[in-house]
Amino acid sequence: MAMSECPVRCVLEGVPRVHFFEGGRRCPEDIILPSVMRAVLEYLGEPDYGCRHCLAQNPEAKVLCTYSFLVGVSGAAAYLSWKEGWQGDNVALFYMSADPAAPERHVFEAIGYEHEWVAKGQGPDDEALFRERIVGSIGRGMPVLGYGVIGPPEPSIIAGYDEGGDVLIGWSFFQGAPEFNAGVEFEPAGEGQAAGYFRKRDWFKDTECLLIVGDKVAKPSLEETCRTALDWMLQVSRTPMVRPEPDAPEWYRQRHNGLAAYEAWADHLLRDNEWRADDEAVLRAHHRIHDDAVGNLVEARWYGSVFLAQVVESFAGGPGKRGTQAEVLHAAACYAAEHDLMWEAWELTGGIGSPEAYRHMADPGVRRAIADVVRRAREQDARAVEHIGRALA
């Protein structure tokens, strides 16, 4: 259909909201790509995916925690990155391999959908191309992932458009953040919702690329998907630097990965000259980056442990069969132990969310204790890697 024949406004109703944790029935979903894709699968009514806390919605689901499944298959379950210096994008998933699109590729292969990237620089009028692809996808009832739109270049869900595409409508993790949502308006909140879809004008300049969800295709068996995911998790953990070459792009250069990232993180905590008590701005900035790493590891490893528990049910094994469940469960326990250790790290600075946490970081004794926690977490991660490797062997 030509753009001139498309409706001026088209909105997909009922796309689930995505957001940083605010309490409520759903578990925390603060890792953005898996959360966005969980919402898309829920909207599409895919029968294989459900939530163990909302079983009435989909009693036939084969996967009872879709979010943890997507954390696992994307590689987020095993991910940790630390770039030299204090970098605010350490938690961005696209650094987990030399291919920044690898997490999405693994997700779409696992769920059995084609996908296509639409990036800037493909033609003389990229904005018209973006608009055409968004309008076309919404017209066939399929949300679009827009990287950026509001806030950092993380995926938002584009669920509709208005005024012929001048306005985008959807959900973003950052739509309520004052530092990112200047000029953003909102659709009325639906029944039982705390917020409504965002409405964003002048969206093209803030949108890095689009991910178009394509046709449904045959997908691997659940057992094959789980084995592929475990192999990918091992690659993510065991690769010390995903772009080690000296001419790597600056944003990849000197970026420690996987098991190697723990040591880099601990080392930065021990640089006393970078934690001066008389420089509040630096203390706040460095603590925020450290705290992001703690929070990301808490969630990634917890849901990683849940994913591994689901893997046990999908592997060859069980009553009357011979399998590798013990190794997988040992790995799950190691991930759960990492989760608990990160809570120890929070307690050392006054507890999760403490407004005074950054001040505690000026104390060398506190930072040395946290560095010890980080190194103990690395030991647990290394054990998990060994168990997963034996399970695959």
Tokens linked to 192 = 């039982």
| 209/242 same-domain check | no
Q: Write out pLDDT tens, residues 142-192.
A: 999 999 999 999 999 999 999 999 999 999 999 999 999 999 999 998 776
CB-count burial class (<10 Å; 0-12, 13-18, 19+) for 110? buried
Do residues 144 and 37 make contact, with C-beta atoms less than 8 angstroms apart? no
Q: At residue 188, what is the residue type?
A: P
Residue type, 227: R
Question: Are 254 and 304 contained in the same domain?
Answer: yes
Do 119 and 243 share a domain, yes or no?
no
387: CB partners within 8 A, 6+ apart: 327, 328, 330, 331, 334
Please tell me the total count of domains within the chain: 2
Q: Is residue 195 part of a domain?
A: yes
Task: Note down the domain range covering 248.
Answer: 222-392
Same domain, yes or no: 149 and 245: no
Residue 61 tokens, joined: 């689901």
Residue 379 shares a structural domain with residue 280: yes
Q: Which helix (H) or strand (E) holds 186?
A: strand 185-186
Round to whole Å and give the CA distance between 384 and 233.
10
Instruction: Give the end of a domain, one of 163, 185, 216.
Output: 216
Residue-wise pLDDT tens digits, 117-148: 999 987 778 999 999 999 999 999 999 999 99
For residue 314, the model assigns a pLDDT of 66
Rounded CA-CA distance 64/57 in Å is: 11
Task: Supply the pTM of this predicted model.
Answer: 0.95
Residue 70 lies in a domain: no
Q: Do the domain assignments include residue 244?
A: yes
Same-domain status, 179 and 258: no
- Helix (H) or strand (E) run with residue 292 in it: helix 280-314
Q: Is residue 152 part of a domain?
A: yes
Q: Are residues 17 and 163 in the same domain?
A: yes
Counts of helices then strands in the chain (DSSP H, E):
10, 10
Query: Is 227 in the same domain as 263?
Result: yes
Residues 202 and 250 in one domain: no
Q: In the predicted model, what is the mean pLDDT of the chain? A: 93
Write out the DSSP string of 197-227: -EEEES-GGGEEEEEEEEEE-----HHHHHH
157 plus 263 within the same structural domain: no
- Examine the pLDDT at 49 and tell me if it is beyond 80: yes
pLDDT over 90 at 312, yes or no: no
Could you tell me if residue 107 is inside a domain? no
Q: How confident is the model at residue 40 (pLDDT cuts 50, 70, 90)?
A: very high
Q: Are residues 208 and 250 in the same domain?
A: no
Spatial neighbors of 338 by CB under 8 A, at least 6 apart, are 297, 301, 377, 380, 381, 384
Does residue 87 belong to any structural domain of this protein? no
- Domain identity same for 211 and 237: no
Predicted confidence at residue 313, as pLDDT, reads 74
Domain boundary among 167, 197, 216: 216
Nearest to 294 by CA among 179, 210, 365, 374: 374
Domain boundary (190, 216, 242) is at: 216
